[in-house]
Structures are given as C-alpha cells and as structure tokens.
Amino acid sequence: MLSSAIARSLARRNIYYGWVVVAATFLTMLVTAGAMGAPGVLIKPLQDEFGWQTSQISSALAVRLLLFGLMGPFAAAFMNYFGVRKVIVFALILISSGFIGSLFMKEVWQLLLLWGIVVGLGTGLTAMVLAATISARWFTKHRGLVVGMLSASSATGQLVFLPVMAQLTQNYGWRTTVGFVCMMILVAAIVVLALMRDRPADLGLAALGEDQIAPAPLQRGGLSAMLRTPISVLREVSKTSTFWILFSTFFICGLSTNGLIQTHFVTLCGDFGILPVAAASVLAVMGIFDFFGTIGSGWLSDRFDNRWLLFWYYGLRGLSLLFLPFSDFTFYGLSIFAVFYGLDWIATVPPTVKIAADRFGREKAGIVFGWVFTGHQLGAATAAYGAGLSRTELQSYLPAFFIAGGFCLLASILAISLEKTRRMTPASAH
C-alpha cells in the first residue's frame, strides 16, 4: 500500500506521516473551500442569464451555508463510524454532482436543490470539523499549529481561486468555471484515496507527542447509536456557559466572514464600478494574508490565553468592517481593508478549537466543535440572505457591513468573559 511505503520511508528520515495526512487534508479543504466560494463570482452571470434577483440567488446560498454548518457534528460522527477517507471521497462526489447538475438548471428551485442542498451537504462533510478531527487524532504536539494550517487552507481556498474563477467566467462563461471546480475536486479525490488514513494506528504509529499507540475506539450500538451521539453530546455540553459563548461568538464569526464577504464582496465592489476580476483579486490578497494570519494564530494558540486572542481577533475584525464603507473603494482603501481583514479572516478557529478540546476532551472535540461550527454557519446563512435582501430592498449592501462590524465588537466582549479553561468532568457537566 502506497501510504505504508511512504510512512516507512519517512520514518527512516525521522519525519512523521501525520504531516502527509495534513497535506492531503489541506488540499481537500482548499478545493472544497474553492467550491464554496465559486458562487460569489457567479451571482451576476446568473442574474444576466436567468433574470433572477439577488435575494433569490442568496436564498440558495443561505441554504448551502446552513447545511454546511448543520452537517458538522454529524460529519464528525460519520468519520468516527465510517472512517475519514470514505467520508471525504463521498463528500467530493456529492459536491461534484451538485455542480455538474447545475450545468442544466433552468429554474430557481433547481439552484436551491443543487447549490443549496446537494453542495451544502457535501461541503458540510469536509468543513472545519475535518480539521478538528485530523488534528485531534494525529497530533498532541503542535495541535494548534495544525489546526491553524488547515483552517488557513479553508479560507485561502475560498479566496485564492476566486480571481481564476472570475477570469474564466468573464472570458468563457460561468459553466466553464463549474467545470474547473469539478476538475479540482477530481484531483483532491485521487490524492485522498492514495494518501489518507483514518488514524495513526492504521500505520502502527502513535499520535505525534505521545508514546502509546491509541487503537480505534469500539463502535457500540451500530448506525443508529452513531446518529444519536451528536445529540447526546449536545445535550451534555449545552449545560455549560462555555459552549454557548463559543457558539454565539462563532455565529458572529460566520456573520462577518463567508456569509458576507465571500458571498457578496464581488457584487458589492461592482456597485462601486469595480470589475469582478479586480474585486476577486482583492479577495485573493485577503487569502494570502489570511494564510499567514491563521497559521500564526495556531502558533499563538499553543502559547497564550486563547480568550484574549479571540478578544483581539473579533475586535480588530469589527473595526475593519466598520472602516470598509469609508474606504471609498479606492485602491488604497481596499488595500488597507484587505490586509487587516485578511489577517483576521479565520484566525478565530485555532483558539476556538483549542478551548473546545481543552474544555470538553479530545474524544468529544470534533463533535463539540461541529455544533459550535453550526453556529458559525447559522450566522453565515443569516448574512448571506440578509445582505442580499438589503441590496434588493435598500439598494445597498452597506447596512449589512455596519451591522456585522458592530456584532464583532460584541463578540470580543463575549470571548473575554469565558472562564479560564478547565477540563469538563462528568460531575461538572450537570
């Protein structure tokens, strides 16, 4: 088997195979995030071809974002039951099916079904919960850094591919962009099949930073028990203030990132006379700064109080969003926004995952973060639809940006109100 041969070769060089798993996961999240970001450059072409309103298109994107989050805790349970590799490959097939089907759509309900439900379910299986699961299974040492790297891949994929997709759409039409997305998904599927393994024990390895090989836990009760697990974990952790603060702040995180910027930034810039390719290039700059900002956040989360990190991240993001309407959408103004907002795009993920893992334990970390991420996508769906409604009814996106900025300042206060991290025990859960 290829992965076993690579693992033996790397071991002779004192290199841990978990980094190969991280690379395969990085590519998967990069590609699926690019698929998530694709509709951001396709709103205007769909309006031109089908005559659909922004609010109609935004409703399908809101459903996609909602399912993207709601799948999180169940995705973690699926990975525990079926294995990471099988779940990822199934998800990639589902995403590509939704995009291929959209090549033949004619009505809004078909957009809702394909880009809303099918793509939403597929991308939900490869969301941030995948990063939390991989980091928790394969790494004890450097776990925060790994979460930062994988989180960066998600946000960077949404942004870096946008200029390419905008150029393809402008020159060859939106269907060519859909074909490009499907090709990227195929490449990721091949890499996952070749290199991904579910746990270190599959290759006779321990998690990095540990001495003992941890066997896969026994699955009790079959499929029905697996489906009940996320609900039972939610029932347990929902009795703690830590969970609800993380859930609320991540709701605001989604409200101020992919639901708003990823979905509507290109169209917003178009309202100020900026062409889609140029607007997508600004998003690409954000993606570059996000890559370094999120990896840096992972490094910091291993060393500093994660509550204060979240305080600064949400506060600075709020100020950058409040600044954007006053930038006059000039090259200079947008450049300042791209740098500061990009550094903070998804830097909140490593501290949030770290707090969840430290507070609720490694075995529950993926499912707990899945529920927290559901809050993120509820916020994203709210912003995706709300901003589209604002543009349709008020002829402006700007009220949505002021609201998101204000909520980010609220999130910074909530974050610092968290109690110092302590591991939850059965007694403290009740």
CATH of the domain at 311: 1.20.1250.20
Q: In the predicted model, is pLDDT for residue 407 greater than 90?
A: yes
**What is the span of the domain harbouring residue 156?**
2-202+229-416
* Helix residue ranges, H only, 14-125: 18-37, 43-50, 54-82, 84-102, 108-111, 119-124
Question: How far apart (Å, rounded) are the C-alpha atoms in residues 415 and 430?
Answer: 23
Q: Is residue 424, in this structure, part of any structural domain at all?
A: no
Residue 430: what pLDDT? 36
Q: In the predicted model, is pLDDT for residue 380 greater than 70?
A: yes
pTM above 0.85, yes or no: no
Highest mean pLDDT among 236-250, 287-301, 361-375: 236-250
Q: Is residue 216, in this structure, part of any structural domain at all?
A: no
Q: Is residue 422, in this structure, part of any structural domain at all?
A: no
Question: How far apart (Å, rounded) are the C-alpha atoms in residues 97 and 115?
Answer: 10
The whole-number average pLDDT for the span 21-46 is 84
Q: Is residue 210, in this structure, part of any structural domain at all?
A: no
Q: In the predicted model, is pLDDT for residue 408 greater than 50?
A: yes
Mean pLDDT of the chain: 84
Residue 217: what pLDDT? 65
The whole-number average pLDDT for the span 166-189 is 90
What spatial distance separates the first Cα and last Cα of the chain, rounded to whole Å?
47
Q: Is residue 207, in this structure, part of any structural domain at all?
A: no
Residue 427: what pLDDT? 39
Q: In the predicted model, is pLDDT for residue 138 greater than 50?
A: yes
Q: In the predicted model, is pLDDT for residue 183 greater than 80?
A: yes
Whether the Cβ atoms of residue 267 and residue 45 lie closer than 8 Å to each other: no
The whole-number average pLDDT for the span 291-314 is 88
Q: Is residue 137, in this structure, part of any structural domain at all?
A: yes
Residue 123: what pLDDT? 86
The whole-number average pLDDT for the span 322-326 is 89
The whole-number average pLDDT for the span 151-180 is 81
Q: Is residue 165, in this structure, part of any structural domain at all?
A: yes
Residue 153's Cβ-count burial label (10 Å; 0-12, 13-18, 19+) is buried
Whether the Cβ atoms of residue 326 and residue 402 lie closer than 8 Å to each other: no
The whole-number average pLDDT for the span 221-229 is 72
The whole-number average pLDDT for the span 203-219 is 79
Q: How many domains would you assign to the chain?
A: 1
C-alpha angle 402/403/407, rounded to 5°? 120
Q: Is residue 363, in this structure, part of any structural domain at all?
A: yes
